[in-house]
Amino acid sequence: MRGTVYRRGFTLIETIAVTAILGILCLITVPSIRTVMDNFKLQVAAQKLVQDMRAVQQQAMAEGESYKILFDMHRCDNYQILHGYRASRVYLPEGISLSWTNFSKNTLIFTPSGAPEQGGTVAIKGAKGRLYVVVTVATGRVRISETAP
């Protein structure tokens, strides 16, 4: 009597079935990963803007002089930090743009006391959403909001 022969490996049908299942899973997850990445990029850009606003506010208090942030609403891809004759331009990441602002002359001014001359909002948008950076006039607080004020 002969022993049973066992073959190791997978049949062609099994391999095709697994490949098809993996393909379907990829089709489902890739768009959701892209959405997550777009939202992450928007969040990082908003946090960078908040960080720059707070740094300018601190610099105005430390030096006892006014500092400005000018939002370029024509190109919508950058803002400038202004102090006297010095200026530095900060570009937003690709796919992120300035949507609107309600600051007078598109300019946020921090006084030597660190208080903003006026409160306001800057809206930035990405591929899948929009965030609002809000500056409170009474306290000078800078925060990110998901809803328009």
**Domain membership flag for residue 73:** yes
For residue 96, the model assigns a pLDDT of 97
- The Cα angle at residue 122 between residues 118 and 127, in degrees rounded to 5: 175
Q: What is the dihedral of CA 27, 28, 29, 33, to 10 degrees?
A: 90
Give the CATH number, domain containing residue 81: 3.55.40.10
The answer to whether residue 101 sits within a structural domain is: yes
pLDDT category of residue 29 using cuts at 50, 70 and 90? confident
Across 21-42, average pLDDT: 88
Q: How many domains does the chain have?
A: 1
Q: Is residue 1 part of a domain?
A: no
Query: Average pLDDT, whole number, for the chain?
Result: 92
Segments forming the whole domain that contains residue 88:
12-145
In a domain, 31, yes or no: yes
Q: What pLDDT is stored for residue 2 in this prediction?
A: 63
Whether 4 has a pLDDT exceeding 80, the answer reads no
Q: In the sheet that 120-125 helps form, which strands lie side by side, from edge to edge?
A: 97-101, 120-125, 130-135, 142-145
pLDDT of the residue at 5: 65
Report the pLDDT value the prediction gives residue 51, as an integer from 0 to 100: 98
The answer to whether residue 32 scores a pLDDT higher than 90 is no
Query: What is the greatest pairwise CA distance in the chain?
Result: 100
Q: Within a domain: residue 7? A: no
* pLDDT tens track for 81-137: 999 889 999 999 999 999 999 999 999 999 999 999 999 999 999 998 999 999 999
Residue 5 inside a domain? The answer is no
* Residue 4 forms part of a structural domain: no
Domain annotation covers residue 94: yes
More confident residue, 58 or 30: 58
Selection from 78, 133, 129, 122 nearest residue 99 by Cα: 122
